[in-house]
Structure 1
Amino acid sequence: MTKNNLSDLIAPYMSPWLSLDDKDWEPILKDSSVKSYERSTVIYQQGDVTPYVYLVKEGRVVLDLYGINGRRRSIYIADKGTCFGELACLDQLGNYCTATTCTKTTLYLISKKRFTEEICQNPDFCMTLLKALSLKTRLITSLLEQMSFNDSNYRVYHSLLSLIQLYGVRLRDGSYKLNIKFTHQEMAYQTGLSRVSVSNIFLSLTNEGLIEKENGYLIVKDIQALKDYLIKDEWKEE
C-alpha cells in the first residue's frame, strides 16, 4: 500500500482536531442556551440519551469511545465551531461516545426539537450539517486506515502535523510552535497507542533534535522530517 500524497496527509479532514466556523450554525444559536464547564467535566457518557445537540463556543471537548474492558480510544476533539451529539438527534439513539472537556469550555446547548426543525426548514443549514458529518466520516476513515496499516511513529507524526496545521505558529527560523498544550496520555488516546510508546517516540524526536519544549509548549524544529516519513516509498502492504 502506497501512502497518500503529502497534500492529502495534511488536509483539514485528516486532522482529529476539528475546528469549524460557528457562523455556519447561526440560525440555531439564537435559540440556544449557553453553559460553561470546568476542565475534565463529562458532558455525557457513552450510551446516554441527552436533550441537546452541543456546539463548542470556546474551549475543546474530546469524544472518546470505551471498550467493554475499559480501554479508551479518542475519536476526535471538537474545537470552536464544532457540533457533537447530532447523531443521537438524527437516529434517536444514545450517544455513541463519551464527551469530556479538555479545557475550561463554553457550549451552546441546542434542543433536539429545535435542531430537527431547522433541518426540515432550512436547506443551507442541512448543507452545513452534511459538510460536518462528511468531515467526521473522512476523519473516522482516516483513523481506521492508521489503525490498520500504519506504525506507531506514523500515527504520532501524523497527529503532530495535524496539530501544527491547526495550532502551529511559524517562527523566524522555520520551526513551528504549538500554541496549545497536550499530554503524552492525550496523544496516546488519540493515536490508539500506550502512553509509554508515545513517550518513547517523543524522546526519540527530542534526541534527534526534531522537537523541543519551551515553557511547556512544543516546538517542532524540522517539520519536513515528519512529512518525509509519512510519504516514504517503502510503505507497502504485506
Structure 2
Amino acid sequence: MNSDIVQEFNLLNPWFDNLPYNWVELFDKAEVLAYKKHEMIFRQNEYGDYIFLIETGRIRQFLISPNGEEKALSIIGKNGIIGECALNSDSRYATNAITASKVLLRKVRKQIFIEFLSQKPEYIFQTIDLITKKYRLLCSQSLQVSYMKALPRVCAAFIQLSVQYGEVQEGNKVKLTLSFTHQEMANLLGTTRVTIANNIRWLEERNYIKKVGKNYCINNLDDLAKLANNQMIQS
C-alpha cells in the first residue's frame, strides 16, 4: 500500500470517528440524550447554550445556503464534540447538526464545559485538537471546491473512507463497511448527485471500484491513490 499518498488524502478526511479523546469525567455533569437517525440536534445561527459529547453514533454537520442548498461539512462520531462553535461571545451555532445514525449524546451547559476546562487543563488539548482538525478540513474543502475537479475529489473520498471504514482483503482490496448514497457524497463534496454518479460509474467501468450489495470495494487502493494523485496534478 502506498502509505504516503493514502495518508496525505486522509488528512482531508471529513469522517471523524472513534476519536482518541475521553470525556468520561464530564459525564456526571451532563444530561443523557438518545436520538434516532435523521433527527436535528441544532440549527445554524441558533443561540447555543450547550456543548454535545458524542458517546455513540455519528452526527453530520452541514450548512444551508440562502436558496436552500445543502453543503455537508463533516461526520463526527464517537468521542467527538459538537456545538463548540458557540463557545465564543456570539454564542451561535455556526452549522446545522443532524444524526447520521442512532446516537447517544451527553449534553453539557456551555458555562459548565468552560469551567471544567479551567479546572482540568489536560482536557484543553483534546478540545483544541478537534477544533484544529475541523478548521484544517474547512481550509482543504475550500481549496478542493475552488481548484480541484470532481474525479480526484471522489477518489479522495473513497480513500478516506477506506482508512476509516475499510476492511483490507487479499490483493490490496479494501471493502468499505459504511454504505452511503450518491446524494450524501455529493453534499459532502459540494457537487451534484449526477456528477457523483457519473464519476463512480467511470471508476467502476475501469475496475477501480466495485459495488457489492450496498457497499463498495476498492479493487486496489494503491491504484486508486495513484489515479487521484495524477488527477490532482492535472487539475
> After alignment, is 21-30 or 114-123 more displaced?
21-30
Amino acid at match of 1:115: F
Identity of aligned residues (%): 24
Residue in 2 aligned with 1:69? 67
Q: CA–CA distance in 1 between the matches of 2:96 and 2:144?
A: 22
Q: CA–CA distance in 1 between the matches of 2:97 and 2:232?
A: 38
Report if aligned partners of 2:6, 2:225 keep a CA contact under 8 Å in 1: no
Q: Does 1:10 align with 2:9?
A: yes
1:198 paired residue among 189, 192, 196: 196
Residue in 2 aligned with 1:184? 182
Q: CA–CA distance in 1 between the matches of 2:171 and 2:229?
A: 24
Residue in 2 aligned with 1:171? 169
SS in 2 for 1:65: strand
Q: CA deviation at 1:30?
A: 2.7
Report if aligned partners of 1:62, 1:78 keep a CA contact under 8 Å in 2: yes
Q: TM-score, normalised by structure 2?
A: 0.92
1:70-118 alpha-carbon deviations (Å, 9 max, x no partner) = 1111111111111110110233421111101111111121121210111
Amino acid at match of 1:104: K
Q: CA deviation at 1:40?
A: 0.8
Residue in 1 aligned with 2:160? 162
2:50 paired residue among 45, 49, 52: 52
Aligned-CA RMSD value:
1.9
Q: CA–CA distance in 2 between the matches of 1:140 and 1:21?
A: 18
Residue in 2 aligned with 1:130? 128
Q: CA–CA distance in 2 between the matches of 1:233 and 1:188?
A: 19
Residues 91 and 154 from structure 1, CA distance in 2 versus in 1: closer, same or farther, beyond 3 angstroms? farther
Q: TM-score, normalised by structure 1?
A: 0.90
Report if aligned partners of 1:211, 1:219 keep a CA contact under 8 Å in 2: yes
Q: Does 1:217 align with 2:215?
A: yes
> After alignment, is 67-76 or 186-195 more displaced?
67-76
Q: CA–CA distance in 2 between the matches of 1:228 and 1:115?
A: 44
Q: CA deviation at 1:170?
A: 0.3
Q: CA–CA distance in 2 between the matches of 1:100 and 1:191?
A: 17
Q: CA–CA distance in 1 between the matches of 2:89 and 2:183?
A: 32
1:176-199 alpha-carbon deviations (Å, 9 max, x no partner) = 111111111000000001000001
Stretches of structure 2 lacking an aligned partner (at least 5 in a row)? none
1:168-221 alpha-carbon deviations (Å, 9 max, x no partner) = 010123211111111110000000010000011111111112212222111111
Report if aligned partners of 2:52, 2:82 keep a CA contact under 8 Å in 1: yes
SS in 1 for 2:145: helix
Aligned residues between the structures: 232
Q: CA deviation at 1:51?
A: 2.6
Report if aligned partners of 1:10, 1:165 keep a CA contact under 8 Å in 2: no
Q: Does 1:97 align with 2:100?
A: no
1:117-174 alpha-carbon deviations (Å, 9 max, x no partner) = 1122221111111111111111111111111111000111111111111010101232
Stretches of structure 1 lacking an aligned partner (at least 5 in a row)? none
